Amino acid sequence: MINKERSLFSKLVGALILLLVPVLIVSVYSNRVNERVITQQIKESSTGRVSTLAAQMDHIIMQMETYSQMLIRDPNVIEFQDLSLLTNSYYEQVKRKKVIQDKLYLQSASTNWVNDITVYSPHTGETLSTVHGIRYETDRLEKLSRENWNFVWNVSGSGDKGRIIHLTYEPHIAGGNGISQANSIIEISFDMSNVIRLLDQFQSQGSGDALFYKNKDDYLAANSIPPTLLKEALSLLNNTGLHGEGDITLYMSGISYLLAYSKVESLDGYVVNIVPLHDILTPLRKSNQFDYLVLGLLLIVGIAVSWILYRNVQMPLRALVKGVQQIKMGQYKSRILFQASNEFRLIISRFNEMADQIQTLIENVLEQKLHAREAELKQLQSQINPHFLYNSISYMISMTKLDKKEAVLQMAYHLSDYYRYSTHVERQLVDLGEELKNAKDYLEIHRLRMKRINYVIRVDPDMMNVKVPRLFLQPIVENALIHGIENLEDIGLITIAGSYSDGKYKITVEDNGGTMTHERLQSLKRLLVGRFGEGADSCGLQNVNRRLQLRYGEDAGLHLSINRESGLRVELRWREEPEKDEAVNRRR
C-alpha cells in the first residue's frame, strides 16, 4: 500500500512539473520577446523624436538662409555696393544706411534663434551690421566662404562657446576667388547656445541625453550629459559610418546605451539621442525574476498541496473509480455505498444522482452533437473579419480633400452596406442574392480605390433565393482579389458564375492573376484537406470548405483548378439541403 501511495504521489508531482516546465519555457521566451519588442519601440520612438528635432533645426537654418538670399537681392542692399557713387550727400548716405540697418534688425528678430546679420561691400570695404565693431576682413571672409555653415569656436575660453556662420554673396562664383569678385556679402550668424538650448529642451521632454555631432571636433552637447558618456559616444560616432537616420548601441561599464541619430542636412551634422537601455529594461528584468520566483513557489506549494490532497482524497476516489467502472460495464443501477466525512460526501451523492440520469443523457447525445456543430459553424464564421477599413477611410479622406463628393458617397454607401451585412449574424442562412450583393459591395470598394480592378457576376436568377451560409462567398472573393489580382499591373478581372443542375449547386470564382502554378495549386489542395488553421494563405479557403462540409456533408466543399489565364479557379459545390429528418439520419 505504501509503495502504491508513493507511486501515485510521484505521478502527481511529475504532472505538476510537466505543467510548470512549459509555463517556464513560455515565460522565458515571452520575456525575451517582450524585451526585444520594448527595445524596438524605444528605437523607433527615439529615431522619430530625433528626426523631428532634425527637421526643426533644418527649418530654422533654411529660414535664415532664405532671409539671407532675400537681403542680398534687396534694392537697398544692392545700392550699398557703391553708395558713394550714387550720392555725394552725407545725409542721404546716412538715410539709406539707416533703411538697410532697420531691415537687418527686422530680419534678425524674425526667427526663433537670436542671430546677427552683417552686410559687406567689397568695393568700398564698408559694413552694416546688427553688431557693433564689425570690420571687413578679406581673409576671414574667404575662409568662411569654403563651407555652407562654419563652426567658429571661441578659443579664449571665456564667454560663449562660439558662433555658427553662413555667408551669402552675389555673384556666387565657385572657387577660391568668390569673395574678391563678389558685389555684396551677407553674413548671418547665431550663437551656439541656441543649439544647446534646443538640445536641453529636447532632453527635458523625453528620456536620455542629446547632442549635435558634426565630427570629432565640432559637436554640441546638452548641459547635463556626463563627460565620460559624451566621450564614449563621440568615439563611437566617429568610428561608425552614419546614414541619414538610424541607431547604434554603445556598451560602457556593463551598461548599454541606444544612440538614435538623424541628419541635419543644412548643417551637415547629426542630432543624437542617447537613451540608457539598461535603466529602462531593468524594471522589466526584475519583473521577469519575480515571475521565476513565483513559479518556484508554485512548485513548492504544489508539491505540498498534492500530498495533502492525496492523503485526503485517496479513499473516496477509490470508491468513485469502482462506481465508474460499474457504470462503464453497463450496470446503471449500481450505487456507491461509501460514507465520506468530507466534501466527497456531496460528490458521491451527486454521482448516484448522475447514474439515474445517464439513460436520459444518452438519448440527448445526438442533439448535443448537432448543437456542437452549430457552435463550430458560428466560431468559423466569427473568424471572417475584413481588414481594409483603414484603406477605405483613407480613400474617403483623400477624395474629400479633392472635393470628389460622388466618389465619397459611393464608397460610403458600399462600405455601409458591406459592414451592415457582415455584422448582422442573427441569421445563419441567407439568400444567395444577399451574398452576391455583399460580394459586389466588397469588389466595388476595391474598384473605387483601384480602377484597374473589374468584375463580372453571372448567376442564374433562379438561384437568388437559395439559402446558403452567411459570408461563405466573401472569403473566396477576398482571396481572389488579394492573392490573385491585387499586385497585377494590368487590368484585373474577377468572374463570379453560378449554375444549378440535378440538385447540385455550383458557384465559381476565378481571377486572371496569371501567377498560379501547378506546384502552388497542389500545395493549396493539401492545405485545404489538412488540419484547420494551417497555412495563412489558405485560411479563408479552409474556412469556407469546412463550413460547407459541416452543413451539407463531406461531398460538399471547394474544388481548386487553374484557368486559362493561369489564375485560380475556385468552385463551391453543394447539394440541395435535405429535409430535417433526412439530415438527422445522414449525420447519424
Q: What CATH number did the domain enclosing 456 receive?
A: 3.30.565.10
Task: Specify if 13 maps to a domain.
Answer: no
Q: Which residues contact 15 (CB under 8 A, 6 or more apart)?
A: none
- Cis omega before residue 22 (within 30°)? no
pLDDT, position 532:
52
**Residues 449 and 534 placed together within one structural domain of the fold:** yes
pLDDT, position 172:
55
pLDDT, position 158:
64
Q: Which residues of 223-254 are buried (b: 16+ CB within 10 A; e: fewer)?
A: eebeeebbebbbebbeeeebeebebbebeeee
For the chain, the domain total comes to 3
**Residues 488 and 530 placed together within one structural domain of the fold:** yes
d(CA 11, CA 82) in angstroms, rounded, equals: 104
Task: Specify if 429 maps to a domain.
Answer: yes
C-alpha dist (Å) from residue 139 to 68, 136, 165, 186, 297: 21, 9, 15, 16, 78
On the CB side of 513, how many CA atoms lie within 13 Å of its CA?
20
Task: Specify if 356 maps to a domain.
Answer: no
Q: Give me the amino acid identity at 483.
A: H
pLDDT, position 5:
47
CB 466 within 8 Å of CB 492: no
Is the backbone of residue 331 left (phi > 0), alpha (psi -120 to 50) or beta? Answer: beta
CB 260 within 8 Å of CB 44: no
Domain range for 127 is 53-190
**Residues 90 and 155 placed together within one structural domain of the fold:** yes
**Residues 388 and 524 placed together within one structural domain of the fold:** yes
Q: In the listed set 139, 162, 190, which residue is the last one of a domain according to the structure? A: 190
Residue segments in the chain with a per-residue pLDDT below the cut of 50: 1-5, 175-176, 363-364, 366-385, 536, 580-588
**H or E element: which one contains 493?**
strand 492-501
d(CA 535, CA 526) in angstroms, rounded, equals: 10
CB 396 within 8 Å of CB 413: no
> Residue 5, Cβ neighbours under 10 Å: how many?
12
User: What is the DSSP track for 109-137?
Assistant: TTSSS-EEEEEEETTTTEEEESSTT----
d(CA 238, CA 504) in angstroms, rounded, equals: 75
> Residue 533, Cβ neighbours under 10 Å: how many?
12
pLDDT, position 381:
47
d(CA 496, CA 43) in angstroms, rounded, equals: 47
User: What is the DSSP track for 414-427?
Assistant: HHHHHHHHHH--S-
User: What is the DSSP track for 383-443?
Assistant: T-----HHHHHHHHHHHHHTT-HHHHHHHHHHHHHHHHHHH--S-SEEEHHHHHHHHHHHH
**Residues 274 and 406 placed together within one structural domain of the fold:** no
Task: Specify if 489 maps to a domain.
Answer: yes
pLDDT, position 493:
92
d(CA 16, CA 10) in angstroms, rounded, equals: 10
Q: For residue range 421-447, what is the model confidence (pLDDT) as tens digits?
A: 877 767 778 899 999 999 999 899 888
Please give the grid coordinates belonging to residue 419: 459592414
d(CA 283, CA 298) in angstroms, rounded, equals: 22
Q: In the listed set 280, 302, 322, which residue is the last one of a domain according to the structure? A: 280
Please give the grid coordinates belonging to residue 479: 482571396
Task: Specify if 285 maps to a domain.
Answer: no
**Residues 218 and 153 placed together within one structural domain of the fold:** no
Q: Which residues of 420-448 are buried (b: 16+ CB within 10 A; e: fewer)?
A: ebbeeeeeeebebebbbbbbbbbbbbbbb
> What are residue 454's DSSP bridge partners?
493
> Residue 222, Cβ neighbours under 10 Å: how many?
22
CB 276 within 8 Å of CB 255: yes
Nearest to 243 by CA among 259, 261, 228, 229: 261
* H helical segments located in 489-538: 518-529
Please give the grid coordinates belonging to residue 435: 451574398
Instruction: Give me the residue label for grid cell 548601441.
Output: 249
Task: Specify if 142 maps to a domain.
Answer: yes
**Residues 114 and 147 placed together within one structural domain of the fold:** yes
> Residue 586, Cβ neighbours under 10 Å: how many?
10
d(CA 571, CA 480) in angstroms, rounded, equals: 12
Q: In the listed set 136, 171, 190, which residue is the last one of a domain according to the structure? A: 190
**Residues 409 and 511 placed together within one structural domain of the fold:** yes
Q: What CATH number did the domain enclosing 155 receive?
A: 3.30.450
**Residues 457 and 570 placed together within one structural domain of the fold:** yes
Task: Specify if 364 maps to a domain.
Answer: no
Task: Specify if 25 maps to a domain.
Answer: no
**Residues 398 and 473 placed together within one structural domain of the fold:** yes
CB 250 within 8 Å of CB 232: yes
CB 184 within 8 Å of CB 88: no
Please give the grid coordinates belonging to residue 59: 527649418
**H or E element: which one contains 211?**
strand 209-213
**Residues 507 and 411 placed together within one structural domain of the fold:** yes
What DSSP designation does 484 have? I
CB 188 within 8 Å of CB 166: yes
C-alpha dist (Å) from residue 181 to 142, 165, 187, 416: 11, 20, 16, 70
**Residues 106 and 143 placed together within one structural domain of the fold:** yes
- Residue 511 phi, psi dihedral angles, 5° rounding: -130, 170
CA-based max dimension of the chain: 132
